[in-house]
Structure 1
Amino acid sequence: MRRALGIAAAALVATAALTGCGGGSGQAAGTPAAPATPPATAPAAGATDSSQLNAMEQKVDAAESAAAAADSDAAQNN
């Protein structure tokens, strides 16, 4: 049972990380978002992609680490 909860928690963390942790736009459901206006001094696309990739890799590593800890905890309790 505990292992299943640990795996479910890790899956939830991974899903949240991969989806950007939800909307948070403050708009009502079903309301279309206003078109995004790029900033006047937008960073280079390669730099943005690289930093986003690094952040995503850190989140995935954290989720994998949480899953491993949950497995270890479940093994100790059985």
Structure 2
Amino acid sequence: MCDYVTQVKETCDALVDSGSPISEVEQIASILNRLTLEYNHFVDVITTSRDPINIDGVISVLVDVETHIDDPF
């Protein structure tokens, strides 16, 4: 997950450097849209939350989820 998120962030940084910035909401959408099916429940929770969530919060949730998927016990 960390490698995946790093790739997305690097792409977003390259867009900023080229004069085409991408909003944090678009960055989050980009990350969530390409996750595998096993993350669907968490994507639903993130996208339907009434509390605003920033990209660092999304990354934190996804890294935690990955840890539980890889080691369920």
Q: Which structure has the greater CA radius of gyration? A: 1
Q: TM-score, normalised by structure 2?
A: 0.33
Q: TM-score, normalised by structure 1?
A: 0.32
More helix by share: 2
With CA pairs under 8 Å and 6+ residues apart, which has the higher RCO, 1 or 2? Answer: 1
